[in-house]
Every structure is written in structure tokens, then in C-alpha cells.
A and B are shown apart, each in its own frame.
Chain A
Amino acid sequence: MTTKEAPPITRSAPHKRRLKAPGNRNFSKPARYVMLAALVLFSGFPLYWMLNTALSQDSELYGQAQGWWPHWERLADFGDLIGSVPIFKWLTNSVVIAGGTTLLSLIFAVLAGYALSRFKFHGKGAAGFLLFATQMLPEALLVVPIYALFASLGLLNGMGGLILANVAFTMPVSVWIIKGAIDAIPYEIEEAAAVDGCPRVTILSLVLTPLILPSIAAAAVINFFDGWNEFLLAKTFIAERDLWPASVGLASFIGQYLTSLNSVMAAALLFTLPALIFFLLVQRRIVSGLTAGSVKG
């Protein structure tokens, strides 16, 4: 008789809360979805509006109110619009410039970041500070002296010069990102590698670089987008139409008297896509690197 009256142990309420994953306990699942949907809408709408504009008629854009739904049937004209300018040539130039900037900047940044993190030398503080000095001056201020310098070095009107100039502006941030990442890696790991027979360059390439990969990926994103979006230097240094990056090419759509908005948006859409793809590729590395983390011995 007494056993029947024993309270069932499993029915205690407090356990329910524990079933939820930590960090999610503030909102219910539908609420979270609604919020995420709002965020996606908020950040995705401009992109959608670009597409919509690109597929609209001039008359719609300048005359009546623009419709909410894109005219998919105009997709064929879309091709004609971008066929009238060397847009793919420009995009290729942009990829070369952004890719070159990223690569060069990362190589320098890993070496400089390592030196700033691990070596003791005179003027170390000054060196770190001077790297930031370039960030303190606006790009526009430096365009003229760099132009003069490049003119005398014969670097104008070429992608090599543009890459160099971009690296000068983007590298310092990468150096500090990578210095911070190396600071966080225990020095013993390097010593273990030295005992195992690695010279310093191999310690850097075999042991440290894989460990700071998430930070390298983060720096790569910053460098790539700096190179991809860069306009001022490219506009100033490169006169030849075929050598333009897409940013300059895109601007050329804006005419003094006539701006074909749908063409601009069509080109802009194409301009966005490679950057988006690059980010999606690298973003996985950043996230996987962060979750894998176990740098702590």
C-alpha cells in the first residue's frame, strides 16, 4: 500500500529547463526564428532590391513606382546590358588585385606578426606603432605622394603597383591580428618543435601557421575586401580602361547626363557575387578553426 503512495521521482519539473541547450534559454524557438527572419530580411533586402532594379525598365525606374516583383523575363536583356562593357575583364582584374593584395599582405603579416610577438629587438614598440601610423592618415592624403612615387618608379597603370599600394594600407591591421594570435600560442610548443628538429622557418610553417589559421582567415577576409572594394587608388593610378578593376568600371556607369540605373545594378550584382563566394569559402575556415580550438596544451 505504501509503495503506491511513493511520489514518482521522474516527474520533477526543474529538469525540463536543462534539456535546452545553454545560451538559448531566453527565447522560445518560434521567437528566435522570427528574429532571425527579420535580420535576414533586413540585411538581404538591399541585395534583392539590386536584383529587382537590374530587371526593371528605365521607364519604371524614372517614371512609375518600381514594382515589388522582378521582371524575370528581362533576364535576357540583362546579358546584353553587361555585354556592352568588358565587365568580366574588370572582374578578373579585381580578383587579381584583391587576391594579390591578400596573398602579399598575409605573407608579410605572418612574418611581421611573428617578429613582433616573439623577438626582442630595439625599436619594437616603435615598429608596431609606425605600422598603425599609415592607418591614421586618410588614404586621400597619401594618393598624391604615392602617385608621384609610382610615376618615378614606373608603377602607374599596372596592377602590380596597385597591389603594392593596397598592401601598404591593409597589411598593418593583419599584422596586429596575427601578432595577437601568435601571442596566444604557448611558447613551449615552439620549443618542442625546436627540440624535434625544426629550424625557425619550419616552426612557423609547420606548427604556428596551422594553429593561427582562423586568424589568418579573418585577416584574409579584411584584406580581400579592402582590395576588392578599393576605388580611390585604382581610379587615380590606372588610366587604361582594360586595366580597371570592377570598382572603377562600375563607377563609369554613372554618367554625367545619363545613368542607366538598371545597368548599374546589374553590374553591381555581378560585382558582389565573387566577394560573396570568397567570404562563404573563408568563413567556414574561420568558424571551424574557432570551434576546433584547443591551442591550450
Chain B
Amino acid sequence: MAKLSLRNISKRFGDTQVIHDFSADVDNGEFLVLLGASGSGKSTLLRIIAGLTDAGAGDIIFDNLRVNRQSPRERDIAFVFQSYALYPHLTVRENIAFPLALDRFKGWHHIPGISAIARRVYGSSKEIVKQVANVSSMLELDEYANRKPGGLSGGQRQRVALARALIRNPSMFLLDEPLSNLDAKLRAELRGEIVRLHRLTGKTFVYVTHDQVEAMTMATQIVILHNGVVQQHATPQEIYARPANTYVARFIGSPPMNLMTAAVNDGQPALGGLRLPAPEQLRLRLRNGSVTLGLRPEHLTVTADVGGPGLAGTVRRIEDLGADTLIGVQPDPALGLKMWELNQDDLLWIRQTGQTRLMAGDPCTVTPEARMASYFDGDTGVNLAPADETSTALLPG
């Protein structure tokens, strides 16, 4: 059981600053997901927590104890690797028993030659065999107990890696993209498995991924990293409803949030001539000139009517996903609508439940759900609505 605090962690590799002054507190039992694109420093951060990489600067605190100088073993963590990192020469049973057997080693057991015997002797002790059997059945690995990792599928290997982490009953689980080598179906299955293990153990989990679906479905807290800088640290719902800046807005959501430039006159934003009612507190923050406006695809509706209130445009793409349909609309150039950052093909994406009767090439009208709009500073990209005032109001549904 551990509460994790990171204080002002910085890390550089040569000339590259990988992590900039990272601080976070994670309560016991939280499921923290470090989310970011590759090169964002998320894996480095996890390795620093584990003790596999030295923190360049800052403090790593487990339950009021500074652990910077402690080895991974002393920190009492379990680490699950993307590549599984199973011991290929040992059977599944021996792989799972390995950490427990090592726990019982006395100093002289580490002498080469003796260590191999000691591992076997301890690994076959009644108590360990029983624990291994328990964990194996929990992860449905019983029938593979005598196989070697080479004879297992990717999903089974990752289960073994989870079992090996689980058996030690560590204070904290650290997982480094454990599912990214698996196919989509297995990924969904193991996602559920990991969430179940989290509930079961009640331990702190820190999970690194670049997959927003994993982050949204598993996390109790998400930290979004970009080039080693924290973009937002919040609950998944908060991040989705109120992204802290344009980077987060584009990173979370598929398709991502539509971002476009809206004109502001007297604190009144307008999109291609369409006036948007903005909350009073927000209007005070809007500078005259322009603001970046964000709308999730589900907060736009599209109709075949032409000439009604809304943004005129032409349907360009239809992506039928079965339950939903994504519709890509090119806004009428006459509106002078400026996309802030090119959305895919410079289109405004709209999500609609069910199927649509619209066809590519049809003229249409897009109506934004104005109260769901996010407003970002035109220069810095920072969300202008303060978290406490609007986060609940903006929660979808």
C-alpha cells in the first residue's frame, strides 16, 4: 500500500530534456495513466518511479519515504514490460515463482551455481507452489503451467507477466504499455482483466500508454504528457469535457475535437457569422479579436436543410461505424471559417448516432451545441474556462 508523490522530477538524456519539472500526487489505490505520444517522456517517468532509471533531479516519495536511492527491489514495486520480459528458459510456473523464490534467498544463495539450486528448491516449496497455483488460476494460466514462454501466444505471455507481478503482492504496480503488442480483441479483454486486478488488489497502479481508449477506460486519473511537460492532470471525464489546452483537445477523442478560430466582438464570440451565447464569466475573459473554439464531433448536428440557422457546408466524407456515423463536412468558403489546426482534410467532423441519409456532395447545415463549446486562448491555446466553474456544467449528458 503506497501513496506516491513525485516532486519536481526533471530528467535529461544528454542534451535532451526528457522530463520538465514533473510533480504529482497519487493516492493509494488510484489508477494513474500516463498518456502521451511516443517521445513524451511517459515511459522514462515510469522507469524513474520504478528505479530502473535515475531521476536527474527531484524527489520520489513512497508514503513519506524518499526512495530515490533505493533499488527497484527495495521499492517493493512490480513492473510489467511491453515486451513481457519473461524468462524464456523457465516454464510458466517457474516464471511466476521466480520473485517469491528470490525473496527467500539469503546472501550466500547468490553464489553462482548455488543460486540455480536455491531457485529450484524454493520454487518447489509447498507454500510457493500453492501461491503460484492461486495466481495462475486467477489469470486462467493453469493449463500452461509447464510450458515455456516460447509456446504461448502474446496474450498468454502478458498474463504470465501480470501473474509474476501479482504474486509478489507489491505496494505498487507499474505497467509500461503492457497491451500495445497485442491485437485489438485481446487488448480489450486484458484491459478488463487489469481493471479487475486493480479492484481486487486495491493497490496503486501507474500505467503508461499512448492509447487514449486504454486511458479513458481504465484510469481514475490521467496525466497527459507532451515533450516532457504535463498538459493536464485530471480525471478522464474532466479531461474529455474540459481539455486544459488545444493539445489535449486534439489528443483525446476520436475523431478529435474540432478546433476553429472564432471572432470576438465585445466579448461575444461568433463563428462564421453565427453568434454563440457564451457564459458570462467566460465573456469577461475573451479578448476582442479572436479565440480558438473547440467542439466535439458529438456536439455538432448536421441536417440536409439549407438556409436555416447554422453553418452552411458540403458533405465530403461519410464513415459509417455501425452504431455511429462520422460525417465530414467542408464549411462553405463564403463563411470565412478558419480551422485553427487542420482537422483531417480540413473538415468539420460530426458524430451522429445511427445512420445518415446524407451522401457525399450533399449541401447541408451544421448546428453547434454552443453551451458545449470550449474556448482556448488564440495564442497560448490554454482553456479559458476555469476548471471549478465550468467542469460540472460541461459534463456531457
Is A12 at the interface (CB under 8 A from chain B)?
no
Which residue, A192, A194, A295, has most C-beta atoms of chain B within 10 A? Answer: A192
Contact with A along B77-102 (1 / 0, CB 8 A): 11101111111110000000011001
The residue from A201, A296, A297 contacting B112, defined by CB atoms under 8 A apart? A201
Q: Check B85 against A197 for contact (C-beta < 8 Å).
A: no
A196 within 8 A of B: yes
Flag the segment in A63-71, A139-147, A163-171, A204-212 that touches B: A204-212
B85 touches A186 (CB 8 A): yes
Give the residue name and chain of the A residue nearest to B84 (CB). A297
Q: Which chain A residue has the least Cβ–Cβ distance from B148?
A: A294
B117 to chain A, nearest CB (A): 11
A104 to chain B, nearest CB (A): 15
Q: Is the C-beta of A46 less than 8 angstroms from some C-beta in chain B?
A: no
Per-residue interface assignment for chain B, residues 149 to 183, with 1 indicating a CB less than 8 Å from any chain A CB and 0 otherwise: 11100000100000010001000000000000000
Q: A80 contacts the other chain (Cβ, under 8 Å)?
A: no
Q: A205-B115, A294-B88, A297-B84 are in contact. Are A197 and B73 (CB under 8 A)?
A: yes
CA–CA, A20 to B308, complex, Å?
Answer: 72
Kindly report which residue of chain A lies nearest to residue B107, judged by CB atoms.
Answer: A199
Contact B83 A188 (CB under 8 A): yes
Question: How would you classify the secondary structure of chain B's contact residues: helix, strand, loop or mixed?
Answer: mixed
Interface centre among A195, A197, A202 (most CB of B within 10 A): A195
A193 to B116, CA, bound (A): 14
Q: Which of A191, A193, A201, A297 contacts B157 (CB 8 A)?
A: A297
One digit per residue, 1 when the CB lies within 8 angstroms of any chain A CB and 0 when it does not, for chain B 284-322 equals 000000000000000000000000000000000000000
- B79, B84, B103, B151: the one within 8 Å of A195 (CB): B79
Kindly identify, within residues 210 to 231 of chain A, every residue whose CB is under 8 Å from any CB belonging to chain B. Answer: 210-211
Interface of A is mostly: helix
Q: Taking A191-B85, A205-B115 as contacts, is the C-beta distance between A199 and B79 under 8 angstroms?
A: no
Q: Which residues of B lie under 8 Å from residue A202 when comparing CB positions?
A: 102, 105, 110, 115
Evaluate contact between B103 and A197: CB separation under 8 angstroms: yes
B89 contacts A191, CB within 8 Å? no
* Partner among A201, A205, A211 whose Cβ is within 8 Å of the Cβ of B116: A205
Residues of A with C-beta under 8 A to B86: 189, 192, 297
B256 within 8 A of A: no
Interface residues on B, range: 35 or more
Convert A132-171 into 0s and 1s, putting 1 for each residue whose CB lies closer than 8 angstroms to a CB of B. Answer: 0000000000000000000000000000000000000000
List which A175-194 residues lie within 8 A (CB) of chain B: 186, 188-189, 191-194
- A82 interface hit (Cβ, 8 Å): no
Q: Please judge, given known A-B contacts A189-B85, A191-B52, A192-B81, whether A206 and B116 are in contact too, CB under 8 Å.
A: yes
Q: In the complex, which residue of chain B has the Cβ closest to the Cβ of A211? A: B89
* Interface residue from B78, B115, B149 paired with A206 (Cβ < 8 Å): B115
Assembled-state Cα–Cα distance A41/B164 (Å): 53
Partner of B102, one of A188, A196, A209, A295: A196
Are A198 and B113 CB-contacts (below 8 A) given A189-B87, A192-B79? Answer: no
Indicate if the CB atoms of A205 and B88 lie closer than 8 Å: no
A277 within 8 A of B: no
Q: Are B83 and A197 in contact, with the CB atoms below 8 A?
A: no
When chains A and B are docked, how far (Å) is the Cα of A296 from the Cα of B154? 11
Q: How far is the CB of A134 from chain B (nearest CB, A)?
A: 26
Residue pair A201, B110 in contact (C-beta under 8 Å)? yes
Q: How far apart are the CA atoms of A193 and B99 in the complex, in Å?
A: 8
Closest to B152 in A: A294
The answer to whether B83 and A297 have CB atoms under 8 Å apart is yes
Q: In the complex, are the beta carbons of A194 and B52 less than 8 A apart?
A: yes
Q: Is the CB of B79 within 8 A of A294?
A: no
How far apart are the CA atoms of A207 and B98 in the complex, in Å? 11
In the complex, what residues of B have CB within 8 A of residue A292's CB?
Answer: 148, 150
> Does B84 lie within 8 Å of A197, measured CB to CB?
no
Q: Which residues on A sit within 8 Å (CB–CB) of B89?
A: 207, 210-211
Binary A-proximity of B56-91 (CB < 8 A = 1, otherwise 0): 000000000000000111000111011111111100
Complex contacts, B105 vs chain A, CB 8 Å: 197, 202
Interface residues of B in 336-364 (CB under 8 A from A): none
Q: Which residues of A contact B79 (CB under 8 A)?
A: 191-192, 195
B158: nearest chain-A partner, CB-CB? A297
**Given A195-B72, A202-B110, A206-B116: A211 touches B88 (CB 8 Å cut-off):** yes
Set of chain B residues within 8 Å of A209, measured between Cβ atoms: 112
Interface positions of B (Cβ within 8 A of A):
50, 52, 71-73, 77-79, 81-89, 98-99, 102-103, 105, 110, 112-113, 115-116, 119, 148-151, 157, 164, 168
A binding-site residues for B, Cβ under 8 Å: 186, 188-189, 191-199, 201-202, 204-207, 209-211, 292-297
What are some 26 contacts across the A-B interface (CB < 8 A)? A188-B82, A191-B81, A191-B85, A192-B87, A192-B164, A193-B87, A193-B98, A194-B73, A195-B79, A196-B102, A196-B164, A197-B103, A205-B112, A205-B113, A205-B115, A205-B116, A206-B119, A207-B87, A209-B112, A211-B88, A211-B89, A294-B148, A294-B149, A296-B88, A297-B86, A297-B88
- Other A-B pairs, 14, CB within 8 Å; known A189-B85, A207-B89: A188-B85, A191-B52, A191-B72, A192-B87, A196-B99, A197-B73, A197-B105, A205-B115, A209-B112, A211-B88, A294-B88, A294-B148, A294-B149, A294-B150
8 residue pairs, one from A and one from B, having the closest CB atoms = A294-B150, A205-B112, A188-B85, A192-B85, A197-B102, A196-B99, A297-B83, A210-B89
